[in-house]
Structure 1
């Protein structure tokens, strides 16, 4: 039995007996000699590669994505007997790390400090004696109210780090309850929570129901000093409304690791919005534990057991 591994990252899973691994070009259609593969790992596939996998691998049983989002893979139309599994959890540490970095960069005025440094200026409005979180500007996580919209594995990894720095953290999910020791409010209650939110973190997937979830109404409901961070999907934020809020000063700042579209066009006015940090979808991109996930799902496939993190 054959599993196809992408050449977009080094992989060396411990394969169960009877399996062989073949590395293929993830930017090209799959060669005819490998159309007999029963499993494939996808990581940064080109459109032609994904279309070829769905069309040509007529006996594929496992489609293992290393990304948490698999909307495009599911839409490619693999055969009915193929199970698409996600990379959920493989990016929790790296995305959480990036999220915390973006939040701290905004609160600690790192972009303004870098700008001052480029001018050789000691900006006393940033340093020196400062009140803690004055009404007009959030400058610390101590006592800050943080709302994480999309409280899956990444959100539950971020939450204790922010709480450890003094923030009060709540999650948002479809239904209210408690996850990993943190209060979770229902999506229906988000509007009521926004006026008291200092930091809004978006880790939502891109679905029909989440398109522009963070829109003008959400931004208007936030305090003027609040900051917004998106490490989910670009389509979940109304970028025109976000730019307007930043220009008007009705939110304190924002950081986007994802945009719609990607890459963000060079002439997009969002680039020049004030108090905005844009990173080029760099929060993830480094799946941690990929080899173990592949090996375990192959073992489960052979044993007829439920696979880890099936899509949908």
Structure 2
């Protein structure tokens, strides 16, 4: 009898699975049912955290869980047994998230948000026509500007390449210093000395206790008044209360945010109305490119034919 792989209805389900494994579709909005309880493997995409926790409790036969998310926390914190292999979607979101981050940075540089506001008011914005050039005090171009990318994994390195092509001076921040993909990388110990020199701080960090509110009032205070901050990692990395206070005082120029401490962003959040904030509704990801090949590869790993790809190491 074939091993049963349960695939969510958020995917098209067309995979070239190896002989010995068959796929069945399940509804991510329906409770975990008897079919899932008898399954050998599970793909997670678009499921709620509560659903995944329920699956961890009820799927006693499952041997492998494939998340298509870039991060590992949804499945690693769900409670699956230590004998269950967990794999992530690392790498599937590098280009989509990096492209969205680039779009937000260009929108911030050219203040497309203010132009859109003026359009809705049927006003000809004063941001047209002749503008400051090389001596512009504000962040208005990527060329020649220093961009620090904190979290220099696949997404950060992909974004760094895009920024470099547009003339930005990119420096990475990671747990270990060195040189990666042609870019200088500093470690966490050098961050506070680096922040006063940057025009843009990009956060592409994972969630978890180690990164919770890593950027708070003290670090925001180190940024230039003309600096922007961009977050496409996890909302918990940035202290929103401190950010709101910093923006209200004009201590930094603005923030482009795709992720938030609470999602959806509450209707009463000041971030909606602050004129120096661009809000994006966690839209950078959501497009796992190459997911079919990843699932097909790890299905073969389940059969012992190849090594696992993107295996999550428990406890990290």
1:179 aligns with 2:180: yes
Aligned length: 311
Contact 1:29 1:48 in 2 (8 A): no
Aligned to 1:24: 26
Counterpart CA distance in 2 for 1:245 and 1:105 is 21
1:251 aligns with 2:252: yes
- The runs of 4+ residues in structure 1 deviating greater than 3 Å are 124-127
**Structure 1 segments unaligned to the other structure (5+ residues):** none
Contact 1:28 1:48 in 2 (8 A): no
> What is the CA distance between 1:91 and its match in structure 2?
0.7
Contact 2:100 2:284 in 1 (8 A): yes
Counterpart CA distance in 1 for 2:109 and 2:15 is 41
> What is the CA distance between 1:304 and its match in structure 2?
5.4
Counterpart CA distance in 1 for 2:161 and 2:49 is 38
Flag the 1:237–1:293 CA change in 2: closer, same or farther, 3 A.
Answer: same
Contact 2:49 2:78 in 1 (8 A): no
Aligned to 1:203: 204
TM-score, normalization by structure 2 = 0.94
1:61 aligns with 2:63: yes
Write out per-residue CA displacement over residues 178-227 of structure 1, whole angstroms, 9 at most, x where no aligned residue: 11111111011000000110010001111112111111111110111111
Flag the 1:31–1:105 CA change in 2: closer, same or farther, 3 A.
Answer: same
> What is the CA distance between 1:34 and its match in structure 2?
3.5
Contact 2:13 2:23 in 1 (8 A): no
SS of 1:213's equivalent in the other structure is: coil
**Structure 2 segments unaligned to the other structure (5+ residues):** none
TM-score, normalization by structure 1 = 0.96
Write out per-residue CA displacement over residues 114-169 of structure 1, whole angstroms, 9 at most, x where no aligned residue: 2222333333345324223523x110001000000001000111001100001000
Write out per-residue CA displacement over residues 21-48 of structure 1, whole angstroms, 9 at most, x where no aligned residue: 0111112332213322111000121344
Counterpart CA distance in 2 for 1:53 and 1:178 is 42
Contact 1:106 1:255 in 2 (8 A): yes
Q: CA RMSD in A?
A: 1.4
